[in-house]
Amino acid sequence: MREVINKYPRLLHGGDYNPEQWLDSPQVLEEDIRLMKEARVNCVSLGIFSWARLEPEEGEFHFGWIRRIIDKLYENGIYTILATPTGAMPNWMTAKYEEVRQMSPEGVRNLPGRRHNFCYTSPIMRKKMKKINHELSRHLGDHPGVILWHISNEYGGNGSDASCHCPQCQQAFREWLKEKYKTLDNLNHAWWTAFWSHTYTDWSQIHSPVPNGESRLHGLNLDWKRFVSHQIQDFCMEEIRAVLKYSVLPVTTNMMEYFKPLDYFRFAPQLSIISWDNYPEWHSQKDEVNVAVRTAAWHSMMRSLKKAPFLMMESTPSIVNWKAVNTQKRPGLHELSSLQAVACGSNSVQYFQWRKSRGSSEKFHGAVVDHRNGSNTRVFREVSALGSRMEQISDTVYPTCNRPKAAIVFDWENWWAVEDIEGPRKDMAYQDTILAHFKPFWEMGIDVDFVNEDCDLQGYRLVAAPLNYLYKKGYAKKVKDYVEAGGCYVATYFSGVVDETDLCILDRHPLEELLGIRTEEMDAAPEHRVNSIGFEGKSYKTGCLREISHVIPGEGAEVLASYESDYYAGCPALTRKSYGSGRAYYLACETEEAFLKALYAGLAEENGIGTEFTGRLPYGVTVSHREGGQDLWFVQNFNEAETQMELPGTYARVEDGMELKGSITLKPFECLILAAK
């Protein structure tokens, strides 16, 4: 694989480091170096919230202190990921230039404070950002210890929906719309403004969706979300251009799970490598399975964005401090949850934060180094042990990556549209639906990619597209071509309903020919009206979204499952149609988990996408597969108990080459890394 990070092509271990908080305590900084080496830290992120130190007054720059820290780290074998400081603005700027602060949907300008709250349209903010980024690039962009640019921090994480409604954003939105629609007639048609007499007769009448104005024109809502994502992406691109002025380093920006306001598929091409901040809610449920599945899905998304290894840029070594209840990770879970990232394609385990800050809002967030007890803590010992292990596996693991044969469609524009509808249910939950379809693969030990509607589907043997409400232009044709060429495609209820502007597609489902079915009604039943479907001799409960469809006579769709009661008893719940060399499935309703498990087990077999572990994994255990160098299997036990399993072959443990085969016992929260022999 191409080396994205040339200077230090190894697994990274380290985290966010904030020495600007301790500049007047040199002994703390000395101790940091000593403890980092003890913990096998080889890389830290610097400068994320340092603007006020780097430029304490407008135009007055101080780089000496940070250069000295980078030097000292480098001398000790620790590399630096260098951040641009736009994650939080200094007080001199927010006080002097009102326009750099975001404006709320209610039209109120934010006061200074917190972070992630700048107006990404503001020319002044862009000018100030360029200036500091240029200076950073000029002073530190060629430092031998700096290996990667960390562009800003968690873009859009302003605590609400990331958007700014200021007049400059309104104007930029109108320009963006003019560019897109050319004429108001086009826009009026796309947004169906004749409804409720909302025809726009002048571009200046258009305003972002707000609670005390227009909020129910879904085409407007959708375009506004596109605009906000675009505008932040554009700001990011401008930051990248600025740091690359005097530097040739790769660039990343740290993402946040499936962060709804930002279409990360569009960000990916402008980044050298994907990175993200991973904060699962371990111990929030009876066992860790659902959290592990959700986290694996997030990791898989990050890997999918560029179909390449990524970096886990933040994670906590112990607890976070912003949940209702912040539970300590039980012994072993830290190592497992960190290696889960690597198993899914991460080439790093980085923490927020190295040392707990002494004051303000994150002083109780977990860190490698605590306020008390120095390194004499369980947390520090577990971090150090993991650091050693990562050193051991780095050479073997670094060259590999996961290469799934199955994909699930996850499309941000569909997400925005389907959760904004006033339709069958108010609580359409796109993420949860995606996870319900992802979980069976996790349980079978099959890695899965995510694709959006713009991605190429070729190369996958199975593509599932749950709750795929909005069909972009060309998508239906692409799906048909994919199936015709031999692919297997799973469509569900409430898909193909609208086009890109949220206008209903009239007359026929865009995949009617492919699926061979016709939908008549959508019944969103209340909880107390249960139903079930019969499939392969068993009965499975449905959820509350149930489409009533009919097989089109003579079109070749077979009914595999049917409703068992209510007025649509006997109507198809699952159909299959052969099409070209492939097959297309249609699932008419939400179902309980067990049904999806049965469905995808069959499809995995039918399409040959299982691994040697499929069918052999006990509850709570999964396996991920990195290939490219050696064939590596990450066997992950998410049970807080010893778990027996049968290995399907003979393997060598990567750390020490020990041979493993047959029946083995996994320790609680153990992660084995096995190489095929």
Least Cβ distance, residue 222 to its own copies (angstroms):
11
Site string for its own copies, 377-396 (x = CB under 8 A): xxx-----------------
Question: Judged by CB under 8 A, does residue 373 bind its own copies?
Answer: yes
Among 7, 34, 358, 538, binds its own copies (CB under 8 A): 358
x/- string (CB under 5 A) for Zn ion, residues 109-148?
----------x-x---------------------------
Footprint (CB under 8 A) of its own copies, residues 613-672: none
Closest among 88, 112, 86 to 99, alpha carbons compared: 112
Which one among 151, 164, 467, 479 touches Zn ion, defined by CB under 5 A? 164
What is the SS3 assignment for 510-560? CCHHHHCEEEEEEEECCCCCCCEEEECCEEEEEEEEEEEEEECCCCCCEEE
Q: How far is the CB of 170 from its own copies (least distance, A)?
A: 11
Residue 90 binds which of Zn ion, its own copies, none (CB < 5-8 A, kind-dependent): its own copies
- Which residues in 263-322 contact its own copies (CB under 8 A)? 283-286, 318-319, 321-322
Q: Which positions ≥6 away from 507 have C-beta within 8 Å?
A: none
Least spacing, CB of residue 214 vs its own copies, in Å: 3
Contacts of 461 by beta carbon, 8 Å cutoff, 6+ apart = 405, 406, 487, 488, 607, 608, 609
Closer CB to its own copies, residue 372 or residue 473? Answer: 372
What are the φ/ψ torsions at residue 20 (nearest 5 degrees)? -60, -15
Question: For its own copies, which residue of 76, 168, 215, 630 counts as binding (CB under 8 A)?
Answer: 215
593 part of the interface to its own copies, by CB under 8 A:
no
Q: Write out the DSSP string of 440-497.
A: HHHHHT--EEEE-TTS--TT-SEEEETT--B--TTHHHHHHHHHHTT-EEEEESS-S-
By CB under 8 A, tell whether 213 contacts its own copies.
Answer: yes
Q: Per rule CB under 8 A, is residue 323 in the interface with its own copies? A: yes
The catalytic position among 154, 413, 547, 590 is 154
Number of residues in contact with Zn ion under rule CB under 5 A: 5
Say whether residue 18 binds its own copies (CB under 8 A).
Answer: yes
154-193 binders of its own copies (CB under 8 A): 190-193
CB-nearer residue toward Zn ion: 169 or 296:
169
By a kind-dependent CB cut-off of 5 to 8 A, residue 166 interacts, out of its own copies, Zn ion, none, with: Zn ion
| Interacting residues of 49 by C-beta distance below 8 A, sequence separation 6+ | 18, 20, 85, 87, 88, 115, 153
Question: Is residue 166 a contact point for Zn ion (CB under 5 A)?
Answer: yes
Among residues 140 and 308, whose Cβ is nearest to its own copies?
Answer: 140
Residue 385's binding partner out of Zn ion, its own copies, none, with CB under 5 to 8 Å set by partner kind: none
Query: By CB under 8 A, what part of segment 407-436 binds its own copies?
Result: 421-427
* Lookup: tokens for 33: 């170096």
Is 314 among the residues known to form the active site?
yes
**Contact string 48-87 vs its own copies (x = CB under 8 A):** -xxxxx--xx---------------------------x-x
Say if residues 251 and 533 touch (Cβ distance below 8 Å).
no
Q: Which of 20, 55, 288, 314 is catalytic?
A: 314
Q: Does 210 bind its own copies (CB under 8 A)?
A: yes
- Give the Cα separation of 458 and 580 in Å (integer): 15
Tell me the CB-side half-sphere exposure of residue 99, using CA atoms within 13 A.
Answer: 12
Taking a C-beta distance cutoff of 8 angstroms, is the pair 306, 268 a contact? Answer: yes
Residue of the chain from 272, 357, 375, 630 that contacts its own copies (CB under 8 A): 357
- φ/ψ of residue 70, rounded to 5: -60, -40
If the CB atoms of residues 109 and 330 are measured against Zn ion, the closer one turns out to be: 109
Q: Is the peptide bond preceding residue 171 cis, with omega within 30 degrees of 0?
A: no
Pick the binder of its own copies from 196, 395, 486, 619 (CB under 8 A): 196
Q: What is the CA radius of gyration of the chain?
A: 26
Whether 418 and 409 have beta carbons less than 8 Å apart is answered as: no
Coil, helix or strand for 289? helix
Tokens 């492919």 correspond to 514
Q: What residue 111 binds from Zn ion, its own copies, none (CB within 5 to 8 A, per partner kind)? A: its own copies
Candidates 64, 269, 359, 608; binder of its own copies (CB under 8 A) is 359
Task: Considering the complex, state which of residue 74 and residue 203 has its C-beta at the smaller distance from its own copies.
Answer: 203
Structural contact between residues 580 and 484, judged by C-beta atoms closer than 8 angstroms: yes
Q: Are strands 406-409 and 462-465 parallel, antiparallel or unpaired?
A: parallel
154 labelled catalytic: yes
Residue number with CB closer to Zn ion (98 or 419): 98
String of contacts with Zn ion for each residue 169-198, x by CB under 5 A: x-----------------------------
* Neighbouring C-alpha atoms within 13 Å toward the C-beta of 313: 28
User: Quick one: tokens of 361?
Assistant: 């809002």
Interface residue with its own copies among 171, 361, 388, 565 (CB under 8 A) is: 361
Footprint (CB under 8 A) of its own copies, residues 23-42: 23
| DSSP per position, 257-286 | SS-TTS-HHHHGGG-SS-EEE----TTSSS
Q: How far is the CB of 135 from Zn ion (least distance, A)?
A: 25
192: left (phi over 0), alpha (psi -120 to 50) or beta: left
Please say which residue, 174 or 198, places its beta carbon nearer to its own copies.
198
**Candidate list 505, 652, 660, 664; residue touching its own copies; CB under 8 A:** 505
Q: Considering CB distances under 5 to 8 angstroms, the limit depending on partner class, which of Zn ion, its own copies, none binds residue 210?
A: its own copies
Strands of 671-676's sheet in order across: 621-626, 632-637, 671-676, 651-653, 659-660
Q: Which of 130, 117, 131 is nearest to 166 (CA)?
A: 117
Strand residue runs (E) in 31-91: 43-46, 79-83
Task: Name the DSSP class of 585.
Answer: E
348 binds, among Zn ion, its own copies, none (CB under 5 to 8 A by kind): none
Catalytic positions are 154, 314
**Binding region for Zn ion (CB under 5 A):** 119, 121, 164, 166, 169
